[in-house]
Amino acid sequence: DQQVKQNSPSLSVQEGRISILNCDYTNSMFDYFLWYKKYPAEGPTFLISISSIKDKNEDGRFTVFLNKSAKHLSLHIVPSQPGDSAVYFCAARGLSGNTPLVFGKGTRLSVIA
């Protein structure tokens, strides 16, 4: 049962353009959403997050949008840079501290110079 879905396994974008990575979730009890970035042979590293009480959070080139009614969030990277090439994981958690962080399968982003 996939509670967090990233339906695009890969995405290629030209350098300088916008990258949009999408994520859907099924559990309405999720109240916090995070994006992690992973390079080969490394662990995932935290990128940006958003609380369910917000619909947008921005940090430099990275913006996360949340549409609660659609149970959908997206990560926008603009402008995209070659160093952004990595696997991006969407993750979500509920209110309780005993609720584990649930991850999607990831989307591999390739930024082409």
Partner 1 sequence: DTAVSQTPKYLVTQMGNDKSIKCEQNLGHDTMYWYKQDSKKFLKIMFSYNNKELIINETVPNRFSPKSPDKAHLNLHINSLELGDSAVYFCASSQGLATGANVLTFGAGSRLTVL
Strand runs (DSSP E) across 15-70, as ranges? 19-25, 32-38, 45-51, 56-59, 62-67
Sign of the C-alpha dihedral, residues 2, 35, 7, 110? negative
Closest to partner 1 by CB, 42 or 113: 42
- Token code pair at residue 44: 């995932």
Residue 62 as a binder of partner 1 (CB under 8 A): the answer is no
What is the Cα 25 distance to its own chain's centre? 11
Residue 93 as a binder of partner 1 (CB under 8 A): the answer is yes
Shortest gap between Cβ of 82 and partner 1 (angstroms)? 22
Residue of 69, 83, 96, 113 interacting with partner 1 (CB under 8 A): 96
1-40: which residues touch partner 1 (CB under 8 A)? Answer: 31-32, 34, 36
Shortest gap between Cβ of 75 and partner 1 (angstroms)? 16
Residue of 10, 12, 51, 81 interacting with partner 1 (CB under 8 A): 51
Amino acid at 69: S
| Calpha distance 110→95 (Å, rounded) | 34
| Calpha distance 16→63 (Å, rounded) | 15
Positions that interact with partner 1 (CB under 8 A): 31-32, 34, 36, 41-46, 49, 51, 89, 93, 95-103, 105-106
